[in-house]
């Protein structure tokens, strides 16, 4: 497989409804897309950064610049070294080639995924098969934003349950936590699988308030504290009954092993973009399974491209909790790929070669803000 060039796009896709979290309200998804063109197949990698560095330190324009100015040249050099030794550029050689660049995991994840996709397509191998997926469908949960009122929230939750989502996740922040959870429990009962996500909005001093969630039988509370506060999460876990799940803190398999060893989390949300790609995601899965820690697949409001790859990952055996792998229409009126649709609360695991979806050119062009081509 010979690299011919890399295309970088900045996409702007309107959301079907504003999505409010503890770090702000989004109306449009502004993300990046990398296409690696090789002599045998094209590969796609979705850059799941947000327009602003409010979920993590990366942001879309910055990540595109890192890909263009640092990661693509380093990848090209690695490909040239491999070719000089008559070797292929394998997917597992990408992360080592990019290692001299510190951080920028979402940028690295997108480029690695694009190479992986092309490599898999060249071999007519699906990502699901290559990862070792053991399921043909994955249970779909849904993430529900902070709303202007409890009645509005209950309408949204009722709608998602009617669509068949098997798990409800409520975004929370100080001032919007116990009341919405109690209201959902009172309206929809104790059987509904229910969890909350704070996106780092609380401090250890809020432990008494978070302990007020204990009576509601939540599956987990996701990332209540700062992403760097592993010790704080370990201390909080001793003060509340709801199992602690980490998202932003888990940036690698090492971070997962450390957090588990320190008692900072009982459950892990795996997001390939956050951790540097699907190879590292598989490692995190393996570390968690080895420790008996359940994992589920988080979401970054990916298009059908990233969604396809996430669904393949979520089909691994250790993914025993429903993820945020919702249907395409949870976020987008029109996806840039054939959409993912909910069937009995589940999404079908793609078995086509590669990540399992390709962009529909005219739909991709409709949402493309900028595009650039880097010849190699």
Ligand X SMILES: CC(=O)N[C@@H](Cc1ccc2ccccc2c1)C(=O)O
Q: Which residues of this protein are in contact with ligand X, per CB under 6 A?
A: 19, 21, 26, 29, 50, 55, 143, 197, 199, 247, 298-301, 324
Of 217, 219, 228, whose CA–CA distance to 264 is shortest? Answer: 228
Q: Which does residue 58 touch among Mg ion, ligand X, none (CB within 5 to 8 A, set by kind)?
A: none
The runs of H, that is alpha helices, within 240-372 are 253-261, 272-275, 278-290, 304-313, 361-367
In the list ligand X, Mg ion, none, the entry touching 26 (Cβ below 5 to 8 angstroms by class) is ligand X
Residue nearest to Mg ion (CB): 247
Give min distance, CB of 171 to Mg ion, in A. 9
Q: How far is the CB of 302 from ligand X (least distance, A)?
A: 9
Within a 10 A sphere around the Cβ of 165, how many other Cβ atoms? 25
Smallest distance from ligand X to CB 243, Å? 16
Beta strands in the chain (DSSP E): 3-21, 24-38, 42-47, 137-139, 141-144, 167-171, 194-197, 221-222, 244-246, 267-270, 295-297, 346-348, 368-375
- Rounded to whole angstroms, how far apart are CA atoms 35 and 3? 11
| Interacting partner of 335 out of ligand X, Mg ion, none (Cβ under 5 to 8 A depending on kind) | none
Q: Kindly name the residue from 169, 238, 241, 271 that is annotated as catalytic.
A: 271
Specify the residue, 207 or 301, whose C-beta has the smaller distance to ligand X.
Answer: 301
Please say if 238 is a catalytic residue.
no
Whole-angstrom distance, CA of residue 32 vs CA of residue 9: 6
* Partner residues linked to 222 by β-bridges: 197, 245
Which option in Mg ion, ligand X, none does residue 44 bind, with CB closer than 5 to 8 A by kind? Answer: none
Q: Which C-beta is closer to ligand X: that of 46 or that of 117?
A: 46
Q: In the block, which residue shows the tokens 């993590």?
A: 56
Q: What are the helix and strand counts (H, E) for the chain?
A: 14, 13
**Shortest reach from residue 353's CB to ligand X, in Å:** 28
In whole angstroms, the minimum distance from the beta carbon of 19 to Mg ion comes to 12
Q: What is the DSSP secondary structure assignment for residue 25, as one 8-state letter? A: E
Nearer to ligand X, 29 or 307 (CB): 29
From the list Mg ion, ligand X, none, which binds 29 (C-beta under 5 to 8 Å, kind-based)? Answer: ligand X
The answer for residues whose C-beta is within 8 angstroms of residue 186's C-beta and 6 or more apart is: none
Q: Which is nearer to ligand X, 249 or 358 (CB)?
A: 249
- Bridge-based pairing state of the strands 42-47 and 137-139: unpaired
Which burial class, exposed, middle or buried, applies to 368 when counting CB atoms under 10 A from its CB (0-12, 13-18, 19+)?
A: middle
**Alpha-carbon distance 215 to 56, whole Å?**
31
Nearest to ligand X of 44, 55 (CB atom): 55
| Pick 43 or 323: Cβ nearer Mg ion | 323
**Is 118 or 270 the residue whose CB approaches Mg ion more closely?**
270
60 binds, among Mg ion, ligand X, none (CB under 5 to 8 A by kind): none
φ and ψ of 107, to 5 deg: -65, -45
Residue numbers of the site for Mg ion (CB under 5 A)?
A: 197, 222, 247
The least distance separating ligand X from the CB of residue 55, rounded to whole angstroms, comes to 5
Which uninterrupted H or E stretch holds 125?
none
CB 114 within 8 A of CB 34: yes
Q: Report, in Å, the least distance between residue 30 CB and ligand X.
A: 8
Out of ligand X, Mg ion, none, what residue 126 binds, judged by CB under 5 to 8 A for its kind, is: none
Q: Is 171 annotated in the active site? A: yes
Which residue among the candidates 2, 102, 171, 238 is catalytic per the annotation?
171
Cα angle, residue 53 at apex, residues 25 and 254 outer, rounded to 5°? 115
Active site residues: 171, 271
């Amino acid at each position: 497989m010979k690299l011919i060039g890399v295309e970088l796009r900045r996409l702007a896709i309107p959301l079907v409804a504003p999505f409010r979290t503890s770090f702000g309200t989004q109306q449009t998804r502004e993300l990046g897309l990398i296409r690696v063109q090789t002599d045998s197949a094209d590969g796609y990698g979705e850059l799941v950064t947000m327009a602003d560095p409010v979920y993590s330190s990366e942001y879309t324009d910055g990540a595109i610049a890192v890909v263009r100015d640092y990661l693509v040249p380093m990848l090209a050099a690695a490909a040239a070294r491999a070719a000089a030794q008559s070797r292929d550029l394998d997917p597992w050689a990408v992360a080592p080639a990019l290692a001299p660049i510190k951080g920028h995991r979402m940028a690295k994840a997108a480029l690695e995924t694009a190479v992986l996709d092309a490599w898999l397509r060249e071999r007519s191998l699906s990502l699901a098969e290559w990862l070792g997926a053991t399921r043909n469908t994955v249970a779909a949960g849904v993430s529900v934003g902070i709303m202007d009122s409890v009645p509005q929230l209950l309408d949204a939750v009722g709608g998602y349950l009617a669509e068949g989502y098997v798990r409800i996740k409520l975004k929370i922040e100080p001032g919007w936590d116990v009341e919405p959870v109690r209201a959902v429990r009172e309206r929809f009962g104790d059987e509904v699988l229910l969890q909350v996500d704070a996106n780092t909005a609380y401090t250890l001093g809020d432990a008494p308030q978070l302990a007020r969630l204990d009576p509601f039988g939540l599956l987990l509370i996701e990332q209540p504290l700062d992403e760097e506060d592993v010790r704080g999460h370990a201390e909080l876990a001793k003060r509340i009954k709801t199992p602690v799940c980490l998202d932003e803190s888990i940036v690698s398999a090492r971070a997962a092993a450390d957090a588990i060893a320190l008692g900072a989390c009982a459950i892990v949300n795996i997001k390939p973009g956050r951790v540097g790609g699907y190879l590292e995601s598989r490692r995190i899965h393996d570390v968690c399974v080895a420790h008996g820690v359940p994992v589920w697949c988080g979401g970054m409001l990916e298009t059908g491209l990233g969604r396809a790859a996430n669904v393949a990952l979520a089909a691994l055996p250790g993914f025993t909790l429903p993820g945020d792998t919702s249907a395409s229409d949870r976020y987008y009126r029109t996806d840039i790929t054939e959409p993912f649709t909910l069937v009995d609360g589940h999404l079908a695991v793609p078995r086509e070669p590669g990540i399992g979806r390709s962009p529909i050119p005219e739909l991709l062009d409709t949402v493309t803000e900028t595009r650039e081509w880097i010849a190699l």
